[in-house]
Amino acid sequence: MSNPSKLVSTRSIILWFIGTSFALFTSPSLFAETSNAKSLFSELKQTVYQIRVIDQGSGDKYTIGSGFLISDQGHIATNFHVVSSYIHDPEKFRLEYVRNDGSIASASLINFDIIRDLAVIQSADKQSQFLTINPTPLDKGDRIYSMGNPHDLGMTIIEGNYNGLLQASRYQKILFSGSLNSGMSGGPAINQDGEVIGINVSTGGDQISFLVPAIYLKQLISQPPLTNDYQAHIEQALLDDQDQFYQPLLAAPFPTSTLGELTIASKISDALKCWGHSTEEDETRYQGFHQHCRSEDETYIESDFFVGDFFYDYEWIKAEEDLNSFQFYSAIEERFTHHDLDNAYYEGSVSNFKCQSDFIEIDQRSWKVSSCFRNYLDYPELFDALHLMVSVDHPEKAMVAKIGASGISQKNAIVLIKRFMESLTWNN
Amino acid sequence: MEQLIIQSGHKNDHISPLFRSDGEDITIGRAFTNHIVLSDQYVAGHQARIFSQPSEADQQSWFIEVLDDTNSVLLNGTPIKKQITPLHSKDRLVLGRTSLSVFSSDHQVEPTKILQRRNLHQDSFGWLMPMFIMSMVALLSASSEYALVQPLESWVDFTKETLLGAAVILIWASIWAVIGRIFRHQSHFGQQLQYTSLVMLGILIIDPFAYILEFNSNSLLLGYAISYTVAFVGLAVLLNYNLSFATNIHRTQLMATLISGVLIGVYGANHAYNADEFSPNPVYSQILTPPATKFAGDSTPDAYLQSLSGMVDEFDNHLPKSP
């Protein structure tokens, strides 16, 4: 998986270059921008708060983030992940917010959108000054500002550029070329006029930050307040979201392309990123040709539990001349491994994997297959599913293919594996 | 007329020291005037007297008379007082802390055990053949590693692998030779070497078949079962040979099976105990062997998916929600 990270760094260098040249060519206006940041900060600082989840036992803060007033009713917008520990365990935690003058008050939860990572909480501050939401898209390169309280250091404002919506992604997110830091999550990203265009949510490294488009916040506040069954609400949202992603994909056979002597699934969704590479090392004595696609979107559930990972991976392997059939299969044993989903490590969130292995025949060719599933303990309709297969009828050539998804329903997972298997055929 | 024989200890084959009487009295005690002098501070100077008296049918009977009751004398575990008590062949006596056995000279001994392959137990069993077999097994072990797992990179590696295999067999055989030297005053090194090598050869031959079986069964459980069985049987057979050459244990087969069972059992239990209850990674059979070794049939994708769906249905947590 060295390629994606390589690309990210290439992209950040390019973005840095764009940013620098922009600064050089527009240096006369730099002062104006800075003074705008200054005036925006002094104008809006009353509406941006620090949000705290307080551990009831110790009485001290457990997690922190930022939030901002969005109505004269005292509604504060923030991220789901800022208040998630409270949502998962309302008995153990409570919500608090800190105003710009340092005064503290308690808040309650109104609604949240786990997929978009948004939450709305109720404060006591029914004041006339609040931030207005403007979901109109901006132009690439437009200067935008983000406010928040990084690392509990105090309220700050940073500036950067709006760089459009992410291209290959399951969810719409704004690429913000500025440096968000932890603690700023849930803070507002505003345009030159001081209107909210997005909500700070995450970062992808140097100067790469992501914002939730303001339209989703608008949708969330238009919904009625939630009742107390937060876990059921989360499960339903996750189920609906995976249906929305997988059902169009699974409605028809996968589009295909060729790798080695086989037909394989090509890029089956625009939300995926696909890569290829080949290996030819003296040590291994076989040639490997890889193609893999994955979605880089994750939905945050808890600090050690994410869902949304989806990938498939093909490796066409050919033995070099001096490798006998035993040696060849012994070598590809090391490739016959399930993908590491990397989304949950603790027994509190998922069950153990259960696996099934067998030989199957597809198009008169033999494959060894292994499928493993694990169940989410709090969301019993959802699973992590892994499927692995290797052709076993040629003495010196083999295809190792794998597919997997986290946070998928049983029905979608079974159809996904079916589609995957039927798209994989030898070309002779 | 039969004689009375007194042995030290309670074991039939423990023959020395020994006292033999044709009918005359045997006195036992710590004093030097006794026939059997016991250096045991819990035994009286004159502790007991064993004597014979003619009984009916012209038979001679033996009796014991306890002469001192400071400490009780046990006959087959039961204390006998200052009284005259009849003795029988194979009776056990405990005086103070000393154990003695009483035998009649016409006591039937167990049938002679047949010594399998006489030459194996001879001191003249040479080293040449065992060394040759050991070298061949070590060579085969290294060769199969390279032929079945990874191609040979260099002859130096091959030599190292061979020497390592030979060293393992040599060390094992040497340990048993030392044990033999202690228990039987004979090392039987040649025999230990030869049989250790042959058992290794057996395991070496079975191993690929175990892999092929696991590959075809698609079952990790069967894979474990085969590995543990091969280890258990292999070790039991090996220990049986090792013990029979190095010790005088009566039931070497039972002993070898027990030791192997305990060792493999402890290993397995330790493995199971230390395995984490929760694992973030799936556990499945990863074995792959060439198409020529595949004899299992194929299912259809639909049948596979149906049974997969059945497996998913069985998650404890994944029950239909109550209304």
Contacts A422 to B, Cβ<8 Å:
301
pLDDT tens-digit readout, A258-299 = 999 999 999 999 999 999 998 876 666 888 999 999 998 889
Look at residue B125 and give its three-state secondary structure. coil
Q: Which of A23-32, A317-326, B1-10, B78-87 has the lowest mean pLDDT?
A: A23-32
Residue with token string 């250091």 = A153
Most A CBs within 10 Å: which of B154, B304, B322, as the mutation test of the A interface? Answer: B304
Is the per-residue pLDDT at A3 higher than 70? no
- Chain B CB contacts of A347 under 8 Å are 277-278
Query: How close does chain B come to A241, measured CA to CA in Å?
Result: 19
Mention every residue, 6+ apart, whose C-beta is less than 8 A from residue B251.
none
Residues of A in contact with B209 (CB under 8 A): none
Spatial contact of B161 and B142, defined as CB atoms under 8 Å apart: yes
Rounded Cα distance, A383 and B43, in Å: 79
A71 touches chain B (CB under 8 A): no
Sort out which chain A residues have CB atoms less than 8 A from B221's CB and list them.
none
Q: Which residue of B has its CA nearest to A391?
A: B291
Taking the C-alpha atoms of residue A154 and residue B265, their distance in angstroms, rounded to an integer, is: 62
Looking at residue A428, its pLDDT comes to 78
Residue A36 has what pLDDT? 85
What percentage of chain A carries pLDDT values higher than 70? 91
With CB atoms and an 8 Å threshold, state whether A336 touches B286: yes
Residue A307 has pLDDT above 90, yes or no: yes
Q: Does A304 touch chain B (CB under 8 A)?
A: no
Pairwise CA distance, residues B309 & A413, whole Å:
9
Give burial (CB, 10 Å; 0-12/13-18/19+) of A25: exposed
| Residue of chain A nearest B301, judged by CA positions | A360
Instruction: Report CA-CA distances (Å) from A398 to A258, B2, B150.
Output: 14, 83, 17
Q: Does A323 touch chain B (CB under 8 A)?
A: yes
Residue A29: band (very low, low, confident or very high) from pLDDT cuts 50, 70, 90: very low
SS3 annotation, chain A: CHHHHHHHHHHHHHHHHHHHHHHHHCHHHHHHHHHHHHHHHHHHHHHEEEEEEEECCCCCEEEEEEEEECCCCCEEEECHHHHHHHHHCCCCEEEEEECCCCCEEEEEEEEEECCCCEEEEECCCCCCCCCCECCCCCCCCCEEEEEECHHHCCCEEEEEEEEEECCCCCCCCEEEECCCCCCCCCCEEECCCCCEEEEEEEECCCCCEEEEEHHHHHHHHCCCCCCCCHHHHHHHHHHHHHHHHHHHHHCCCCCEEEECCEEEECCCCCCCEEEEEEEECCCCCEEEEEEEEEECCCEEEECCEEECCEEEEEEEEEECCCCCHHHHHHHHHCCCCCCCCCCECCCCCECCCEEEEEEEEECCEEEEEEEEEEEECCCCCEEEEEEEEEECCCCCEEEEEEEEEEEEEHHHHHHHHHHHHHCCEECC
Between B97 and B83, the more confident residue is B97
pLDDT digits (tens, 9 = 90+) for B228-261: 999 999 999 999 999 988 988 888 899 999 999 9
Chain A residue numbers touching B305 (CB-CB < 8 A):
414, 417-418
- Would you state the torsion angle of the CA atoms of residues B142, B147, B149, B152, taken in this order, to the nearest 10 degrees? 70
CA–CA dist A216, A222 (Å, integer): 10
Cβ distance A355 to B284 less than 8 Å, yes or no, reads: yes
A171 touches chain B (CB under 8 A): no
Q: A357: closest CA among A380, A397, A386?
A: A386
Closest CA to A301 of A89, A152, A101, A28: A89
Q: What tokens were used for A393?
A: 């009828």
Q: Which residue of B has its CA nearest to A359?
A: B298
Q: Do B305 and A414 touch (CB under 8 A)?
A: yes
Residue (of A135, A154, A157) closest to A146 by Cα position: A157
Tokens encoding A180: 């968000």
Cα–Cα dist A145/A149, whole Å: 14
Per-residue pLDDT at B17 exceeds 60: no
How far is the C-alpha of B250 from the C-alpha of A132, rounded, in Å?
A: 95
Q: What is the pLDDT of residues B126-184, one digit of tens each?
A: 889 999 999 999 999 999 988 888 888 889 999 999 999 999 999 999 999 999 999 88
Q: Say if the Cβ atoms of A380 and B307 lie within 8 Å.
A: no
What is the mean pLDDT of the segment spanning A227-232?
87
Chain segment A376-423, per-residue pLDDT in tens: 999 999 999 999 999 999 999 999 999 999 999 999 999 999 999 999
**Inter-chain CB proximity A358 and B305 less than 8 Å:** no
Beta-strand pair B36-37/B26-29? parallel
d(CA B271, CA A56): 41
Closest CA to B52 of B109, B106, B108, B1: B1
A360 touches chain B (CB under 8 A): yes
Q: Which residues of B190-200 are buried (b: 16+ CB within 10 A; e: fewer)?
A: bbbbbbbbbbb
Q: What is the residue whose two structure tokens read 């030989």? A: A359
